[in-house]
Structure 1
Amino acid sequence: MATVGIQRTLFAALKLLTVLLALVLMIVVITTLTFPSYQTSPPECKTTDPDFIPADEERLARFSSAIQFQTVSYERGVGTPQELLKFVRFIQDGFPTIHSSPLVRREVVGNYSLLYRVEGSDGSLEPYMLASHLDVVPITQETDWEAPPFSGQVRDGYIYGRGTLDDKHNVMGSLEAVEFLLSRGHEPKRTLYLAFGHDEEIGGHFGAKVISDVLTQRGEKIAFILDEGTPVGDGLMPGVDKLVALVSVAEKGFLQLRLEVKEEGGHASMPRSESAIGILSRAISKLEDNPHPNLFGTGPEMRTLEYVATEMTLPYRILTANLWLFSPLVAWVYARKPQTNAFARTTTAVTRFNAGVKDNVISPEAVAVIDHRIHPMSSVEEVMEHDLKVINDPRVKINVINSLEPAPTSPYGKDSPTYMLLQETIQQIYPDALVTPTFMIANTDTRHYWNLSSAIYRFNPCVMTPSDLPRFHGLNERISVRDYERVMNFYYHLIVNMDKPLEVKRHVHDEDL
């Protein structure tokens, strides 16, 4: 009888489990089939439109000339001031309508940075700001470039040179848009700022920070800020065949730590049981063996997938439409590769290790530098607590070299008029692209603008493939002529769209105004 009872209990449990699995499967199927789309379909801006900005010979020549200024930032306080001055003068000479318009006020800030105010006709509307930077990173392996790195040479439909992607295309593209707008006699309703820092590549302390201080002293509050950021990806997201425009609504923070151990040194023939190098090596091994928690699903990275779920191939769509069930699996997959792991957690990188002076001498000191990039849902304090707990050795002295909290997450989605305006503008220029929020794993000048606006976005309005990514700060930086044309038209459409109150809106062409 007891055996029969056990069998009945097992059968009932199996039956219940079958029902539950069927129910879960049904929910997964229904959710997959009914998952909402987050995309919009605004009117496409066409090359035949009367307000289309072509990448004609004159505009390409200006952009090419901009690349030729070697505005290199080397380290904090060390740059190329004469090149910056020449570039600033070139901008003033190259855009005569902007610099002669009574609507425009131009200021040189921090000696080399530029701040433009384009006055709007409706003072009740909060201004907005388009930000970029004038400086570039140094050149390495110059002889390996396909075209000289400061030539601005046009070859096979591409403009080559340092700054074509980071970030002179945005500087020149936004200026071309304003020049075109004003030359057509258009007076914007909403005041626009153009902010061009000169030292973003080394922290923006003398450029963007000074711009922020100026605007803060004037009591300005900015409706939204757009700066450089993530691109329109082609093949950057598995399971999606379309272009995906990645709009960063946050940035990782960082924490750089100096780890130091001091122990008794001496001759290598009489070693102690532990050395400074050994103690520090074990501490570093502990940090690498005990990564920071996987935070997938707590920040924008979860929405990155959900916002394109309806356009994914079926296996990916099932996963992303049902992250309520599959997020642990996706989190595990993210942790397997460095590129995706960076979006799932605070990362730990050992960037320096120094010890020893002679082959037969036991070093009395060992020093290492750890670079953490902090997930938007974590903090500097949490990272420090984790490291101290993991190392758990008072002999390892930990000092902070530099730190920055993660950026506040800006509003996004259909309830955010600023995000939706940006999304619709992108889809006017890239009508076949999907738009999704994400966050930057690197940092931009926006760190200095947090106090000016709660809606800060980071976006690079040009297409990039996986093979293009190494061109950032690397060899053969380039942008296609077609993409530069899109950059100009993106900024123009954004400015025109901002003529209305911040609500979900669509751009109309001049004949409809």
Structure 2
Amino acid sequence: MSRLLLAQVVLALCILSAAADDGEAIVSRFQEYLRIDTVQPKPDYYKAVDFLNSQAKSLSLESQTNEFVKGKPHLLLKWVGSDPTLPAILLNSHTDVVPFEESKWTHHPLHAHMDNQGDIYARGSQDMKCVGMQYLEAIRKLQASGFHPVRSVYLSFVPDEEIGGHDGAEKFVESHLFKSLNVGIVLDEGLPSPSKSYRVFYGERSPWWLVIKAKGPPGHGAKLYDNSAIENLLKSIESIRLFRASQFDLLKAGGTAEGDVVSVNMAFLKAGTPSPTGFVMNLQPSEAEAGFDIRIPPSVDSEALERRLVEEWAPAARNMSVEFKQKHSEEPLLTAADDSNPWWRLLKNAVKEAGGKTSKPEIFPASTDARYFRMAGVPAFGFSPISNTPSLLHDHNEYLSRAEYLKGIDVYVSIIKAYASYEIKSDSRDEL
């Protein structure tokens, strides 16, 4: 009896040791990806693609690299399904990350340091190298379990999302290659949740990036000028501030999600005449301008907001003008996030089977590559399996805990298995 008990203990320890080793290897691969410098504006895309291709090779996935724009490689991997007539699954992620201020970080943002609590600090740990690696690790687990997909599963690693995605996902979606894939559903990035439930996004706010310019009389700084450039710009900034405050009040009152209000943030303020020591102090500038990042939810009348912009925030009567740097004026596209959509049902149930829970579907407060797929008529959900974690996208000390990362892989195991096993054909783009 004692020998049997001893044998069972030894076996259990071996299993635990193997699981621990596997977990360490999984985390190590994640850290390796995080350490690749894909920071805008000079991301090392080729190094990232080489690393991802090495992972694809270890999983025997089909691989092809395309450059829709020179110097910006797009990697497409394929896990072949048994029924090519069924619309495929596309798991999308971007390889680039935003810049950082190294001095504001506790640990270097490209070292992927893991502290004593198991928190991994790195740019891209939440946005969104974590998700790209979770796709791959989930497939690794599914293959080890003997699972074979019915639908083909594609993994898309696109460049340039952080600067608009025009040379990345947009070019990919416009290509003959994408049209040939017969994609039925796309999963892309979401946001971390501070609670136990996972956030899911079925649409997003439209970005308006614009510059408001004001002109006025130049001259000596000792003279009082009526309708000076800076005075006119400050009037507009105050009007915008009041509008912003009204939107903030809606958010702070509760019951309204961030993706349901208009966000307005000033990105820069430019005025004055430069000098070797700073600015000329006795010269009234003839021009002043401010840049704004505005995000419009699908529920807002964008035409009415544009009238406000032209008539109130940048009126020609005050020698003001507006220049759009980016503007999406198309009708906002939403993916059905209720039980009428089988993709939603499968996602919700798969998360539940993995021990998690989805919160009420939301409008993504910013912009992601998912919009390009929706524009092509393909349903898309934004989903990052990160719970109990503050959202630190584009922030200092972006991190993801080891435990949360590993748990997210199991969530994607459940989702990919559910999606890739779904055999009903009349389910693809009509569900958008």
| TM range, smaller chain | 0.7 to 0.9
Match for residue 107 of structure 2? 147
Match for residue 312 of structure 1? none
1:445-484 matched pairs, under 5 angstroms: 445-465=369-389, 468-469=390-391, 471-484=392-405
Query: Is 2:224 the partner of 1:264?
Result: no
- 1:350 Cα deviation after fit: 2.6
- Describe the superposition over 1:237-291 as per-residue Cα deviations: whole angstroms up to 9, x where unpaired: xxxxxx2321111111121222222222111333333312112221222233345
Match for residue 11 of structure 2? none
Match for residue 299 of structure 1? none
> Are residues 162 and 263 of structure 1, via their aligned partners in 2, closer, same or farther at CA, if it must alter by over 3 Å?
closer
- Asked if 2 retains the 8 angstrom alpha-carbon contact of 1:109 and 1:210, the reply is no
- Asked if 2 retains the 8 angstrom alpha-carbon contact of 1:262 and 1:365, the reply is yes
Query: Is 2:306 the partner of 1:346?
Result: no
Match for residue 370 of structure 1? 292
Q: Distance in 2 between matches of 1:497 and 1:175?
A: 16
1:104-115 matched pairs, under 5 angstroms: 104-110=62-68, 111-115=72-76
TM-score for the superposition, normalised by structure 1: 0.70
- Asked if 2 retains the 8 angstrom alpha-carbon contact of 1:133 and 1:200, the reply is yes
> Are residues 462 and 163 of structure 1, via their aligned partners in 2, closer, same or farther at CA, if it must alter by over 3 Å?
same
> Are residues 108 and 180 of structure 1, via their aligned partners in 2, closer, same or farther at CA, if it must alter by over 3 Å?
farther
- Asked if 2 retains the 8 angstrom alpha-carbon contact of 1:246 and 1:438, the reply is yes
Q: Distance in 2 between matches of 1:435 and 1:286?
A: 35
- Asked if 2 retains the 8 angstrom alpha-carbon contact of 1:335 and 1:344, the reply is no
- Flag structure 1 segments of 5+ consecutive residues without an equivalent: 1-47, 235-242, 295-330, 504-513
Q: Distance in 1 between matches of 2:111 and 2:369?
A: 26
Query: 2:355 pairs with 421, 430, 436, which one?
Result: 430
Match for residue 122 of structure 1? 83
What stretches of structure 1 move > 6 A for 4+ residues in a row? none
> Are residues 55 and 146 of structure 1, via their aligned partners in 2, closer, same or farther at CA, if it must alter by over 3 Å?
farther
Query: Is 2:180 the partner of 1:230?
Result: no
- Asked if 2 retains the 8 angstrom alpha-carbon contact of 1:351 and 1:369, the reply is yes
Secondary structure of the corresponding residue to residue 474 of structure 1: coil
Secondary structure of the corresponding residue to residue 385 of structure 2: strand
Query: 1:489 pairs with 410, 414, 430, which one?
Result: 410
Q: Distance in 2 between matches of 1:489 and 1:53?
A: 15
- 1:476 Cα deviation after fit: 2.4
> Are residues 192 and 452 of structure 1, via their aligned partners in 2, closer, same or farther at CA, if it must alter by over 3 Å?
farther
1:40-119 matched pairs, under 5 angstroms: 56-74=23-41, 79-81=42-44, 84-98=45-59, 100-101=60-61, 104-110=62-68, 111-119=72-80
> Are residues 340 and 360 of structure 1, via their aligned partners in 2, closer, same or farther at CA, if it must alter by over 3 Å?
farther
Q: Distance in 2 between matches of 1:196 and 1:94?
A: 13
Match for residue 170 of structure 2? 209
> Are residues 215 and 411 of structure 1, via their aligned partners in 2, closer, same or farther at CA, if it must alter by over 3 Å?
farther
User: Greater Rg, structure 1 or structure 2?
Assistant: 1
Query: Is 2:397 the partner of 1:439?
Result: no
Query: Is 2:103 the partner of 1:136?
Result: no
TM-score for the superposition, normalised by structure 2: 0.82
Match for residue 404 of structure 1? 328
Q: Residue 298 of structure 2 aligns to which amino acid in structure 1?
A: P
Q: Distance in 1 between matches of 2:167 and 2:325?
A: 20
- Asked if 1 retains the 8 angstrom alpha-carbon contact of 2:333 and 2:375, the reply is no
> Are residues 290 and 420 of structure 1, via their aligned partners in 2, closer, same or farther at CA, if it must alter by over 3 Å?
same
- Asked if 1 retains the 8 angstrom alpha-carbon contact of 2:207 and 2:327, the reply is yes
Secondary structure of the corresponding residue to residue 485 of structure 1: helix
Alignment root-mean-square deviation, CA: 2.9
> Are residues 332 and 380 of structure 1, via their aligned partners in 2, closer, same or farther at CA, if it must alter by over 3 Å?
closer
Query: Is 2:301 the partner of 1:385?
Result: no
Q: Residue 59 of structure 1 aligns to which amino acid in structure 2?
A: I
Q: Distance in 1 between matches of 2:91 and 2:131?
A: 9
> Are residues 493 and 502 of structure 1, via their aligned partners in 2, closer, same or farther at CA, if it must alter by over 3 Å?
farther
- 1:490 Cα deviation after fit: 1.8
Of the structure 1 ranges 115-124 and 169-178, higher mean CA displacement relative to structure 2 is found in 115-124
1:190-339 matched pairs, under 5 angstroms: 190-214=151-175, 218-234=179-195, 243-290=196-243, 333-334=250-251
- 1:206 Cα deviation after fit: 2.2
> Are residues 408 and 496 of structure 1, via their aligned partners in 2, closer, same or farther at CA, if it must alter by over 3 Å?
same
Q: Distance in 1 between matches of 2:56 and 2:226?
A: 70
Secondary structure of the corresponding residue to residue 462 of structure 1: coil
- 1:487 Cα deviation after fit: 2.0
- 1:451 Cα deviation after fit: 3.4
- 1:488 Cα deviation after fit: 1.6
- Describe the superposition over 1:322-374 as per-residue Cα deviations: whole angstroms up to 9, x where unpaired: xxxxxxxxx9653558x967444223223322222222222212222232111
- Asked if 2 retains the 8 angstrom alpha-carbon contact of 1:244 and 1:436, the reply is no
Q: Distance in 1 between matches of 2:219 and 2:312?
A: 29
Secondary structure of the corresponding residue to residue 387 of structure 2: strand
Match for residue 360 of structure 1? 282
- 1:434 Cα deviation after fit: 4.5
1:494-509 matched pairs, under 5 angstroms: 494-498=415-419, 499-501=421-423
Q: Distance in 2 between matches of 1:53 and 1:494?
A: 24
- Asked if 2 retains the 8 angstrom alpha-carbon contact of 1:53 and 1:488, the reply is no
Count of matched residue positions in the alignment of Structure 1 and Structure 2: 394
> Are residues 292 and 271 of structure 1, via their aligned partners in 2, closer, same or farther at CA, if it must alter by over 3 Å?
closer
Q: Residue 482 of structure 1 aligns to which amino acid in structure 2?
A: A
- 1:478 Cα deviation after fit: 1.9
Q: Distance in 2 between matches of 1:95 and 1:124?
A: 24
- Asked if 1 retains the 8 angstrom alpha-carbon contact of 2:173 and 2:179, the reply is no
